[in-house]
Amino acid sequence: MLPGFFTLTVGSLGMRGLTTLAGGHVIAGFTDPLKLVTIVTAIAVGLVTGAALAGRRDDAV
């Protein structure tokens, strides 16, 4: 489920930014890629933090 989430949210922002830039709206075109970088960073930091807090679980019997 996580790859689909990344593709839909982050990918759509990247495509919107590229489309806006291609349309000639330079200032508006850079806001979406900036949001893209911010969201990718926040999701990655959240995943790493969650993995670190959860710790390593060995349920091997």
Measured CA to CA, the distance from residue 29 to residue 24 in angstroms comes to 8
Query: Which pLDDT band holds residue 6 (cuts at 50, 70, 90)?
Result: low
Instruction: Tell me whether residue 44 is exposed, middle or buried, using C-beta atoms within 10 angstroms of its C-beta: 0 to 12, 13 to 18, 19 or more.
Output: exposed
Measured CA to CA, the distance from residue 6 to residue 37 in angstroms comes to 12
Q: What are the pLDDT digits (tens) for 37-57?
A: 888 888 889 888 988 888 766
Whats the size of the chain, residue-wise?
61
CB 36 within 8 A of CB 18: no
pLDDT on residue 45: 92
Q: Which two tokens stand for residue 3?
A: 């790859």
Q: What is the pTM of this model?
A: 0.62
